[in-house]
Structures are given as C-alpha cells and as structure tokens.
Structure 1
Amino acid sequence: MIGFLCLLATLGIYAVSKRVYAKRRKVYLSPLLVTPIVVIFILIWAKIPYETYNDGGKWLSSLLQPATVAFAVPLYKNFKVLKKHATEIIVSVLAGSCIAMISSAFLAKWLHLSSSLVTSMIPRSVTTPIAMNVSQVIGGVPNITAVFVIITGLLGSIIGPMVLRMFKIENDVARGILFGTSSHGTGTSKAFELSSLSGTISSISMILAALFTLGVAPLIMNVLIH
C-alpha cells in the first residue's frame, strides 16, 4: 500500500513540477531535477526505506521499455534527414563517446579515486541499463555507475542549454547529437523540448553512444587504468 502511495506521490510531484516548468522555463524548475529532490526529501522525512518506495516505483522503471520503443515514431518521420546526416552523426557520437569515457577516467584518477570508482565512472554518459552492464564487465560497481549516470543526465540537461547559447548552436542535428551523446535519456527529453528533429537525432545518438561504449570502454579501461 505504501509503495502504491509513493508511486502516486511521484507522479503527482512530476505533474505539478511540469506545469510550473511550462509556465516558467527556468532550468532549476525542470521536473527532472525537482521530482527526485522532492521525492528523496519525502523519503528521508517519512523514514521510508528505498525498498518500500521501489515496490511502487518499479512500475515507472518498467514503463521505460515501451517509452523507448515509442522513439521509433519520430525516427520514421525524420528518416530522410537521418539518412542525409548519417556520417556526421556516427563520427560525432563516436568522438563524443570516446572523449566522455577518457575524460571520466582522467577526472577520477585526478581526484585519486579507487580503481573500482574509476571504472564505475567511465560509462556514465550512456543510458542506465547499458552503463550498469558495461560497469560490471570492466570491473566497476553497477549501483555506483547508476548514480553517476543520473548526475550526468541532470547536469547535461542543465548545462546543455547554456552551451547552446554560448556557442550559438542553432542546428537541430548538432543540438540532438550534443544532448544524446552527453546525457542519454534525460538529454533526449530536453532535446525534444527544442524540436522534434533535435529529439529524434538525440535518441539515435543515445543508442549509438551506448553501442560504442559497449565496444570501446573495455579498451579504454585497459589502456588508461592498467
């Protein structure tokens, strides 16, 4: 019963924050930032264990699969554009994925983190299920990787718009690649706010980044860590 109430509370908080964000487009009011903070505060205040919360929250996680499949609709609508820019997308995502993993490794080593934390941090820029699998393969801690992934997604959705304004990036393809490669599903959600094409390119970039990370992460780990 408590788990179900937690589910309703999460949905309610998200709905309210989304309405507020629609009226006042401020980064700090983003539902993706407000909802987890409020939920965490409530769980701590009410002393509700995560396991109890997840009895209801797990249904939201289950909905990620059909939600991901729904990305096929904008992909189909923008297929001609995707085909036209296929080379630029592939090269850009590959470069961005490699830079994300290498910079993560160097940052973690610069902070003198343990080897397990270093390897846990490397796949932080891809969607959570893939990142956790990669982390397990290369000797990291999947649960810690999930935390890094969430932080990366939130920071990407906050900093991304600033980067677009700073460098005056107005091309929908470039915007989509930026968000999809750097901040996975959270960034893709932000990209869809800009335009359907940006969101579509972002979803493709997110998928490609996950595939590249699966193949490249073990190599980077062997070269930089050992």
Structure 2
Amino acid sequence: MIMAAASLVVTVFIYMGANWLYRYKPILILSPLLLTPTVLVILLLATHTQYNTYNSGAHWLSDMLQPATIALAIPLSKHFELVKKHAAEILISVLTGSAVAVASSLWLAKELRLDPNLIYSLIPHSATTPIAMAVSQSIGGVPTITAVAVMITGIFGSLIGPSIIRMCNIRNDVARGVLLGTSAHGAGTSKAFEFSSITGTVSSISMILAAVLTLFITPWILAVCF
C-alpha cells in the first residue's frame, strides 16, 4: 500500500517538475511527455523496482484517461456549430491522413524487410491505443508492440507538430486540430488545447474519427497492398 502511494506521488511530482522545467526553458528534450517517462524508467532501473509494483499505484493515472476523454464532450458542446460547419472538411482530412498513415507504415516496413508480425503490429500506430491494439490483433500483429508504437507516435507527434504548424504558418484552428488529432491522438490533443479551445476540440474529434476509420480501412489497404 505504501509503495503504491509512493509510486503515484513520485510520478506526479516528476511530471510537475518536468512541466516547470519546460515552461522555464521550452526545448524538445525537456518536454514533460519525453522527460517524465525517461526519468521514471531510470528510477525504476536504479531501484530495481518491478513494473507491476510501480503500476500498483500509478495505474490510477492511466484510469483517469477514460473520464478525461469523456470530458472532451464539454468543449465540443461549446463549439458544436463550428464543428458542424466544417464537418465535411474534417472527415475528408482525417480519412486521408489515416489512409496515408496506414499505407506509408506498410510501405516503409516492407521496404525495411521487417517480419510480417512486426509489420502488422506497426500499421495501426496512428489510432488510439485500445483500437490500435484491437486492429493489430485482428490482422495478426502483437498488441503489446502496437501499444509501444502508439505511445511513441503520440509523443513524437505532439513534439514536432507545433514546429510543423509554425514552419507551415498554419493559423486556422480547424486545420491545426485535424493535424494534431489525426497524427498524434491523445498526446496531440493535449498539445492542441494549448493553442486554443477550438483547436483542442477539433483535435479530439479527429482523434476519435482516426481511430474508427483506421479500424475499417486497415483490412482494405492490406488486401490491396499485400
């Protein structure tokens, strides 16, 4: 019980410290999404702590993702008319992005001559974890590897997404939201809300659409390309 409480408290304090550092000096290596898991892994290895022991308390943070996802309905209700107005653009953009993500992952993995099981595990990396793992399992992949790929995609996308937005001078809230939500799912949506409430709302919708569309288009793309 003490260890469970300690792991929860330590995780929160490490994240708060990383967040403070990133605000003080906003450089890539100090991003809380990158620094927090790195420090935690080093700490667990240094103290010879098993992951199950650590997760006995830290899992409460993961469990909060479900109500946090539901809470995204609040900004959606505020910007419903705007989302409705741009529904066609959002749907087409997310469909295109999801298809490109699956097809490009498949092409690159084949070019690298990866094992088929690994290829199937990496293909749905742009969907949210539960759906990505389900897609992976249904097409013959390894869900655990898929979960890691999803995590890396989310972190990497949320880190480079803002830079791409600045370089391309993307000022439209809807466009920024689609970019972050489609490419970096939950982590991207968290970053999107830093731009504006509208960007975050569109990102959350794009994240959900990308997951659903990936579920349907992946078998079709595999049938065409394999």
Letter in structure 1 aligned against 2:49: I
Q: Distance in 2 between matches of 1:57 and 1:131?
A: 23
Deviation of the 1:52 alpha carbon = 1.2
Query: Residue deviations 1:57-116, cap 9 Å, x none?
Result: 221111111000010010001111101100000000000000000011111111111000
Contact 1:164 1:175 in 2 (8 A): yes
Contact 1:75 1:200 in 2 (8 A): yes
Q: Distance in 2 between matches of 1:53 and 1:133?
A: 26
Letter in structure 2 aligned against 1:152: T
Equivalent residue number for residue 187 of structure 2: 186
Alignment of 1:8-47 (within 5 A): 8-47=9-48
Q: Distance in 1 between matches of 2:180 and 2:187?
A: 8
**RMSD (Å) for aligned C-alpha atoms:** 1.1
Equivalent residue number for residue 145 of structure 1: 146
Stretches of structure 1 that go unaligned for 5 or more consecutive residues are none
Equivalent residue number for residue 209 of structure 1: 210
Deviation of the 1:20 alpha carbon = 2.2
Equivalent residue number for residue 158 of structure 2: 157
SS of the counterpart of 2:53? Answer: helix
Deviation of the 1:166 alpha carbon = 1.6
Q: Distance in 1 between matches of 2:222 and 2:44?
A: 36
Stretches of structure 2 that go unaligned for 5 or more consecutive residues are none
Letter in structure 2 aligned against 1:115: P
Deviation of the 1:51 alpha carbon = 1.3
Query: Residue deviations 1:30-73, cap 9 Å, x none?
Result: 21111111111111111111111111122111111100001001
**TM-score calculated relative to the size of structure 2:** 0.96
Q: Distance in 2 between matches of 1:78 and 1:7?
A: 35
1:218 aligns with 2:216: no
Equivalent residue number for residue 136 of structure 1: 137
Contact 1:119 1:221 in 2 (8 A): no
In the TM superposition, structure 1's runs of 4+ consecutive aligned residues that sit over 6 Å from their partners are none
Equivalent residue number for residue 62 of structure 1: 63
Q: Distance in 2 between matches of 1:86 and 1:178?
A: 15
Q: Distance in 2 between matches of 1:171 and 1:25?
A: 23
Q: Distance in 1 between matches of 2:194 and 2:30?
A: 14
1:85 aligns with 2:81: no
Moved more, 53-62 or 194-203: 53-62
Aligned length: 225
Letter in structure 2 aligned against 1:55: S
SS of the counterpart of 1:25? Answer: coil
Equivalent residue number for residue 175 of structure 2: 174
Q: Distance in 2 between matches of 1:135 and 1:185?
A: 19
Moved more, 84-93 or 53-62: 53-62
